[in-house]
Amino acid sequence: MAQPAVVAENRAMIAPSSSWVFLGLALLGLGMAVTGLVRATRLGWGNMFWFLSGWLTSELALFHVALSALVAVAFARWTDAVDFAPGRAGLVIVGLTWLGLIVMQWRTRPTQPILEQALRAGLGAGYRDSIPATRRAVLRDAIPIRELLLPFNMRDRGVERLRDIPYGDGHERQVLDLYRPAGGCAGAPVLLQIHGGGWVLGNKHEQALPLIQHLAARGWVVVTPNYRLSPRARFPDHLVDCKRAFAWVRANVARYGGDPQFIAVTGGSAGGHLTALMGLTANDSRLQPDFEDVDTKAAACVPFYGVYDFVDRHGLKGSGAAMVQWLEKTVMPCSPRTDPVLWDLASPIEQVRTDAPPFFLLHGDHDSLASVEEARLFADRLRATSTQPVVYAELPGAQHAWEVFRSVRAMHSVHAVTRFLEWVHANRTTG
């Protein structure tokens, strides 16, 4: 007569494929939870896969709980997967994954107070009081639940989008979109949103949509340009295009209801890098060929999870040497040894100046692609040098690109950036 342990072992070995599939899905879910809980910066190209998995998991943790619950119920109800050892192990793993996902969601709770504390530290405890009452009325602290339930629904009926307006000399990438209140506007403050994508990909209508829609629905004009991409384009082509788009806004935005005298700039990742350079290289004739006389000084800059040092001279990048080598091969036209001045020009941390505009820097402490340590140093350098306010907010548990779709972190960040921009606008217009 077979012993019970032998029988159990045989049952595990002859478990149906559905039991093993369920175990595999459970392990996949656990792996995604790990990437959302743990920061990784030294995996080389593996950082990209870690980011993609951890980003979606950490920002949509409760959706992952719901999805894994549906999968578990489906396997339990319509298959005999959980009657066998692999399936039962899968159930245990699902439970562990849920614990990790709940921790991820819990990490989002301090987002709003962290952002508000950063604004108060940088702008003053009573910064909201200097915003006119009519503009304070459009500010928001709470997040409507409908926005969190529909994270990818970015459209707002109160916003009009004008597409593919040329701003350059005819290059197919030198076009922009313009968002404005559907009912029209006049003299509205303007935000230039620069997309990311590692300087090699990305599009004007893909990123920062929660912020774009939020501001445009509240009376702002938001302009989103494309720019030439590497490897065909090399620095400073990307920056020159962004400045050219800025020049177009200066000359033309009044026709669309915007105020050409108030143009703030924002962007994430590579767009954050370019945003910082827009603020720190204003009116540099080397970067404004054929439009040297245009004033390209931004009213404010809001870089999200930017790259601030191309050379990694402070050793703060997790895979610093690999990053610099990739930039040399793909983005820059030469090595740092051949033209160190150009590499310094591409590094915002080397362009810090006393007359920099107000800055609001946002970064996540779980960022796998852009060094949070580098962001801290850049913020410290700005504070020590600039005569204008510098706000720095570091969000616990946040991966790269956390504000691309509507999540708790994204919407609290949108609200905080709106408060910052309204403060800058109020103080600029009142002198």
Which pair of structure tokens corresponds to residue 45?
A: 């190209």
Whether residue 45 has pLDDT greater than 70 = yes
Which pair of structure tokens corresponds to residue 308?
A: 């601030």
The answer to whether residues 81 and 201 belong to one domain is no
Average pLDDT over residues 306-335: 90
Helices and strands (DSSP H and E) totals, the chain: 15, 8
Residue among 315, 268, 369 at smallest CA distance from 39: 369
The answer to whether residues 266 and 158 belong to one domain is yes
Which pair of structure tokens corresponds to residue 156?
A: 């707002």
Catalytic residues: 269, 367, 400
Kindly compute the dihedral angle of the four CA atoms of residues 301, 302, 307, 313, in this order, to the nearest 10 degrees. 50
Residue among 399, 416, 393 at smallest CA distance from 61: 399
Average pLDDT over residues 338-344: 97
Whether residue 148 has pLDDT greater than 50 = yes
Packing angle of the helix pair 61-78, 46-59 (nearest 10 deg): 90
The answer to whether residues 244 and 342 belong to one domain is yes
Phi, psi of 318 (to 5 degrees): -60, -45
Average pLDDT over residues 399-409: 96
Packing angle of the helix pair 85-107, 17-37 (nearest 10 deg): 20
Q: Please say whether the beta carbons of 165 and 395 come within 8 A.
A: no
Q: Choose the final residue of a domain: 107, 138, 153.
A: 107
The answer to whether residues 58 and 191 belong to one domain is no
Contact residues for 91 (Cβ-Cβ < 8 A; gap 6+): 26, 72, 82
Q: What is the DSSP string of 176-226?
A: EEEEEETT--SSEEEEEEE--STTT---TTTS-HHHHHHHHTTT-EEEEE-
Q: What is the DSSP letter of 278?
A: H
Report how far residue 7's alpha carbon sits from residue 9's, in angstroms, rounded to the nearest whole number: 5
Average pLDDT over residues 231-246: 98
Report how far residue 161's alpha carbon sits from residue 428's, in angstroms, rounded to the nearest whole number: 27
The answer to whether residues 357 and 323 belong to one domain is yes
For the chain, how many structural domains are there in total?
2
Give pLDDT, residue 6. 52
The answer to whether residues 258 and 171 belong to one domain is yes
Q: Please say whether the beta carbons of 302 and 420 come within 8 A.
A: yes
The answer to whether residues 121 and 173 belong to one domain is yes
Q: Please say whether the beta carbons of 311 and 260 come within 8 A.
A: no
The answer to whether residues 62 and 33 belong to one domain is yes
Whether residue 430 has pLDDT greater than 50 = no
Give pLDDT, residue 170. 83
Whether residue 5 has pLDDT greater than 80 = no
Q: Choose the final residue of a domain: 88, 107, 126.
A: 107
Whether residue 2 has pLDDT greater than 60 = no
User: Is the alpha carbon torsion for 242, 247, 249, 252 positive or negative?
Assistant: negative
Which pair of structure tokens corresponds to residue 81?
A: 């997967």
- pLDDT classification of 169: cutoffs 50, 70, 90: confident
CATH of the domain at 235: 3.40.50.1820
Whether residue 371 has pLDDT greater than 80 = yes
Give pLDDT, residue 13. 62
Say which range, 6-15, 68-77, 120-129, has the weakest mean pLDDT: 6-15
- Structural domain boundaries enclosing 420: 111-429
Which pair of structure tokens corresponds to residue 77?
A: 């109800």
The answer to whether residues 143 and 256 belong to one domain is yes
Report how far residue 40's alpha carbon sits from residue 147's, in angstroms, rounded to the nearest whole number: 30
What 3-state class would DSSP assign to 9?
helix
Q: Choose the final residue of a domain: 107, 141, 173.
A: 107
Q: Identify the residue whose tokens are 């699902």.
A: 94
Average pLDDT over residues 15-33: 95
Whether residue 367 has pLDDT greater than 50 = yes
Which pair of structure tokens corresponds to residue 282?
A: 């204003």
Q: Identify the residue whose tokens are 């091969």.
A: 329
What percent of the chain is modeled with pLDDT above 90? Answer: 87
The answer to whether residues 132 and 80 belong to one domain is no
Give pLDDT, residue 44. 80
The answer to whether residues 62 and 201 belong to one domain is no
The answer to whether residues 103 and 173 belong to one domain is no
Average pLDDT over residues 133-138: 96
Whether residue 3 has pLDDT greater than 80 = no
Residue among 283, 251, 277 at smallest CA distance from 265: 277
Report how far residue 355's alpha carbon sits from residue 348's, in angstroms, rounded to the nearest whole number: 14
Helix (H) or strand (E) holding 162: strand 159-166
Whether residue 7 has pLDDT greater than 70 = no
Which pair of structure tokens corresponds to residue 2?
A: 């077979």
Say which range, 39-43, 261-265, 299-303, has the weakest mean pLDDT: 39-43
pTM (2 d.p.): 0.94
Q: Please say whether the beta carbons of 160 and 182 come within 8 A.
A: yes
